[in-house]
Amino acid sequence: MNPARLRKLKEWLIERAILLSGVFSVVFVVLIFLFLLREGLSLFRGESVLDFLFGKSWYPISEPPRFGILPLILGSLLVTLGAAAISVPIGLAAALFIAEIAPGRLKEGLKAGIELLAAIPSVVIGFIGMITLGPFIKKLFAVPTGLTALTGSVTLAFMAMPTIVSIAEDAITAVPRQYREAAIAMGATKWQTTWRIVARAARPGMVAAVMLGIGRVIGETMAVMMVTGNAAVIPSGMLQPVRTLTATIAAEMGESVQGGSHYAALFAIGIVLFVITFLINGVADLYLHRSRK
């Protein structure tokens, strides 16, 4: 075969291989979703969707079982909002500090530290939260148990922070240097430049960072299961034990009968989680596109 045709063949093969891997990644997601649907939707043969979503009690093994996931949804929501309230301001401020203010050495040190934080397994963070944070919160607020929504929020904030900081920091660093120069040349102070130009130009990236951080919080299972107390009741405040959607699946999957209604209910929770994550990504996407316009 002559070299030109060989080259063409090679191009063709590489293109196909890349196309195939792209197609596969989509196919897998679709298959996972279909599997979730198949396993989860069977629950709704005997149960109404509204009762499932808005039922106030989750007693999967009582007779008859009750599959109301409202307490779980609220638990997840509460822990996530709490974690976001802590990690978003601190994370974005840390990213601005690292990208704009910290001098060379400190910057490298902080970046390495934050990447290390991301590398800690969630079970270890959960363990530390359970041993140190739980008793601390119990004492501080004089509540009967330290394993509360607040404990979960603080613990998860630690897990969301590395994602938020490192992605936001990348976005801020990617702002062209000339923007800063132009602003400073017009008499802006360092802070005015950072706030009005750099933070603004990096906003799409910062939104993406926040969304991914929140996505991580919602999907997190191990740490949250260890520190939130796992009581499937509708929470009335941050200082009460709660149970999240993820923790419920993880804790109960082992004791459910395959094909039974409990099993199907856990998969239905999976569908709810999938939809929530999908919505968060959708919002992030919308926002990114709008600001790029």
Partner 1 sequence: MVSRPVKFSIQGLHVHYGELCVLRELSLEILANEIFTVIGPANSGKTTFLHSLNRLIDLAPGSRVSGRILLDGDDIRLRLEKENLRRKVGIVFALPLPLPLSIYENIVYGLRMQGVRDRAVLDEAVERSLRESYLWEEVKDRLRSPAMNLSGGQQQRLCMARILAGRPDVLLFDEPTSGLDPISTARIEETLLELKERYTIVLVTNNVAQAARVGDRTAFFLMGEMVEVSETGRMFTAPADPRTSDYITGKFG
The binding site for partner 1 (CB under 8 A) comprises: 176, 178-179, 181-189, 192, 196-197, 200-201
Do 224 and 156 form a contact (C-beta atoms < 8 A)?
yes
CA distance 30 to 53: 24
**Minimum distance between the CB of residue 186 and partner 1, rounded to whole angstroms?**
4
CA distance 167 to 149: 27
Distance, CA of 10 to chain centre: 41
**Minimum distance between the CB of residue 93 and partner 1, rounded to whole angstroms?**
21
Nearer to partner 1, 193 or 261 (CB): 193
**Minimum distance between the CB of residue 107 and partner 1, rounded to whole angstroms?**
13
**Minimum distance between the CB of residue 100 and partner 1, rounded to whole angstroms?**
13
Query: Amino acid identity of 40?
Result: G
Nearer to partner 1, 178 or 258 (CB): 178
Contacts (Cβ under 8 Å, ≥6 apart) of 256: 60, 262, 263, 266
**Minimum distance between the CB of residue 108 and partner 1, rounded to whole angstroms?**
16
**Minimum distance between the CB of residue 196 and partner 1, rounded to whole angstroms?**
7
Do 260 and 45 form a contact (C-beta atoms < 8 A)?
no
CA distance 135 to 238: 15
The β-bridge partners of 242 are 229
- Give the helix, strand, coil percentages of the chain, each rounded to 5: 80, 0, 20
Nearer to partner 1, 41 or 201 (CB): 201
Nearer to partner 1, 106 or 116 (CB): 106
Tokens of 252: 């109960």
Nearer to partner 1, 125 or 183 (CB): 183
Nearer to partner 1, 132 or 192 (CB): 192
Nearer to partner 1, 17 or 182 (CB): 182
**Of the candidates 150, 128, 140, 179, the residue with the CA atom closest to the CA atom of residue 237:** 150
Do 79 and 86 form a contact (C-beta atoms < 8 A)?
no
Do 52 and 44 form a contact (C-beta atoms < 8 A)?
yes
**Minimum distance between the CB of residue 45 and partner 1, rounded to whole angstroms?**
54
The β-bridge partners of 58 are 67
